A and B are shown apart, each in its own frame.
Chain A
Amino acid sequence: MKQIDKVFILIASALTLAWSAALFAVALGWNAGPPLSVTLITLYNRTWETVVVAGVLLLIAVHLAGLVLRRGEEKAVVTETDLGRIRISFRAIENLVCRTVRGIKGVRDLDVKVLPRSGGVDIQIALIVEPGAVFTALADEVQQKVVQAVGETGGIVAGSVAVKIKAVASMARTRLE
């Protein structure tokens, strides 16, 4: 997310929060001045509707702010050392698997999903293969290389590597996207 996107989202969040607060105030009996009343007038004397709308706006504001402010505490393999924790995010493992599998002859494209497992990870790979590839041999190679890469590079145990052949690429490779 670019810095400017974050700024706009934070502004939208702040405005939504202010709107929500104003509606809560109206529900509690606050009589807004002329400029605000144009926006809020339809909800005067409808306390419960006002509270519901205000609550929804509050949730939206909190969600928007969370998108920007939340630091990626995403899923990761965690190792404790004397000096602290080492967290290797699932996304980093996916990067590693993608790069490893893309280098295998017969693989055109792939999707990777990393799942948590006690003492390691499970990996699911969906492949788009080149025409003429032998599926079983290709799947074996993919499994071996992924286990090796994740183990040697990441120091992570891949409990299982499930390979699914999603599609066979067409013969004519597209030149442009």
Chain B
Amino acid sequence: MVARSERSELGELRIANEVVAVIAGLAATEVEGVAGMSGGIAGGIAEMLGRKNLAKGVKVEVGEEQAAVDLFVVVDYGVRIPDVAWKIQDNVKNAVESMTGLDVVEVNVHILGVHIPPEERSEEQRVK
């Protein structure tokens, strides 16, 4: 699906929705404290996506000149969640605007889970 189509003297520029979603996903995961994007809840735990599935944790709505982004993320344990969320909003807005020229009017951040590092878990339970 094409998010944006622009015509210049030399031809047409088209940006797919998927591309906007990947830019937003990458910008979000760059923020310190973000453990990863989330595909939703599975078995009571926020499902964390790998870096290959960045666009799956992102929902974009794109108009002629504006875009709204929803990001579903898991944060690291110990970080201050509101601070991380603000940084995500800022980073995503800057990245999408600078790369696509779209005006990002809304960046909604959904914190679906808190990631506990595996080494901490293994201390509590060595075998299953």
Binary flags per residue of A58-94, CB closer than 8 Å to B gives 1, else 0: 0000000000000110101001010111111101100
Binary flags per residue of A153-165, CB closer than 8 Å to B gives 1, else 0: 1110000000000
Q: Would you give the shortest CB distance from B67 to chain A, in whole angstroms? A: 11
Q: Using a Cβ–Cβ cut-off of 8 Å, how many residues does chain B contribute to the interface with A?
A: 38
- Determine if A89 and B78 form an interchain contact, defined as CB atoms under 8 angstroms apart: no
- Determine if A89 and B110 form an interchain contact, defined as CB atoms under 8 angstroms apart: yes
Tell me the complex Cα distance, A91–B79, Å: 16
Contacting residues, chain B, for A1 (C-beta < 8 A): 40, 42-43, 47
Q: Which residue of the partner chain B has the closest CB to A152?
A: B80
Stretch in A14-22, A36-44, A95-103, A113-121 with 4+ CB within 8 Å of B: A95-103
Stretch in B11-19, B23-31, B83-91 with 4+ CB within 8 Å of A: B83-91
B65 interface residue per 8 A CB criterion: no
Interface size class of A (residues with CB under 8 A): 20 to 34
- Determine if A176 and B127 form an interchain contact, defined as CB atoms under 8 angstroms apart: yes
One of A81, A86, A89, A153 near B112 (C-beta < 8 A): A89
Q: Would you give the shortest CB distance from B77 to chain A, in whole angstroms? A: 5
Contacting residues, chain B, for A2 (C-beta < 8 A): 42
Residues of A within 8 A of B (CB): 1-2, 71-72, 74, 76, 79, 81, 83-89, 91-92, 95-96, 99, 102, 152-155, 175-177
24 A-B interface contacts by CB (under 8 A): A72-B41, A83-B104, A83-B107, A84-B68, A84-B89, A85-B108, A86-B85, A86-B108, A86-B109, A87-B110, A89-B110, A89-B111, A91-B46, A91-B113, A92-B46, A92-B114, A95-B46, A95-B114, A95-B116, A99-B77, A102-B124, A153-B79, A153-B81, A177-B127
The 10 closest A-B pairs by CB, nearest first: A95-B114, A155-B82, A83-B89, A84-B106, A86-B85, A84-B108, A88-B111, A1-B42, A85-B108, A87-B110
